């Protein structure tokens, strides 16, 4: 293999879900088998890198000031659904069961893996709540130990004497399952079956 090929493969291998074999296969595909596709991919990567960023309010993907959901006047601003990752938000949106807004943490607390509150989009959530206007916080985080620890952290840090109702969505899923792997019907019933949290 050539140095440039190996460099490309090394970068591909760092992407989630790609190991040595799959990164090698993709690099070969791009450089040798279908090189005509490469310029369009490079352009798409450059355009996405320049245009897409985190929504400063909720952490969702955004182009422009706010993401499409935060900018949508018809959404119920008082109900904030807290999710681990953007694909969880997408799954809930697809279920059509939620008309509020979101907050994406980009992870969950995991001291074992060096993920503390500073590594997550948590301070912005607490600032959002402190600023007022949030009536209900719906914790749609995984029902595993780390998800539970994250829920505890959030409730412990809510403004004292505040009026925010905190609920946790009922999963109807095996322990350890998350929002992303639930089908639309399960998600809809999980949201409808949300319970008061602490």
Residues contributing to the site for Zn ion (CB under 5 A): 55, 57-58, 60, 67, 70
- Nearer to Zn ion (CB atom), residue 8 or residue 125: 125
- Nearer to Zn ion (CB atom), residue 70 or residue 187: 70
Distance of closest approach, residue 24 Cβ to Zn ion, in angstroms: 38
- Nearer to Zn ion (CB atom), residue 12 or residue 120: 120
Residues forming a β-bridge with 61: 54
Q: How many CA atoms lie within 13 A of 63 on its CB side?
A: 6
Alpha carbon 88 to chain centroid distance? Answer: 6
Give the position of tokens 């697809």.
94
Residue 59, burial from CB neighbour count under 10 angstroms (0-12, 13-18, 19+):
buried
Distance of closest approach, residue 69 Cβ to Zn ion, in angstroms: 6
- Nearer to Zn ion (CB atom), residue 136 or residue 148: 136
How far is the C-alpha of 41 from the C-alpha of 8, rounded, in Å? 14
Distance of closest approach, residue 36 Cβ to Zn ion, in angstroms: 37
């Amino acid at each position: 293999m050539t140095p440039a090929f190996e460099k490309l493969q090394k970068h591909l291998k760092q992407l989630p879900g790609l190991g040595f074999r799959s990164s090698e296969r993709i690099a070969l595909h791009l450089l040798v088998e279908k090189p005509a596709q490469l310029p369009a991919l490079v352009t798409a990567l450059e355009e996405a890198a320049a245009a897409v960023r985190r929504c400063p309010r909720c952490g969702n993907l955004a182009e422009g000031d706010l993401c499409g959901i935060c900018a949508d006047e018809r959404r119920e601003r008082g109900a904030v659904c807290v999710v681990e990752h953007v694909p969880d938000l997408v799954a809930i949106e697809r279920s059509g069961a939620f008309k509020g807004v979101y907050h994406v943490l980009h992870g969950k607390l995991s001291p074992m893996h060096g993920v503390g509150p500073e590594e997550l989009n948590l301070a912005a959530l607490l600032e959002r709540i402190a600023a007022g206007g949030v009536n209900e916080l719906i914790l749609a985080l995984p029902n595993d130990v780390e998800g539970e620890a994250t829920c505890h952290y959030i409730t412990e840090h809510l403004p004292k004497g505040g009026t925010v109702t905190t609920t946790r969505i009922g999963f109807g899923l095996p322990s350890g399952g998350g929002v992303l792997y639930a089908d639309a019907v399960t998600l809809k019933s999980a949201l409808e079956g949300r319970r008061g949290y602490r």
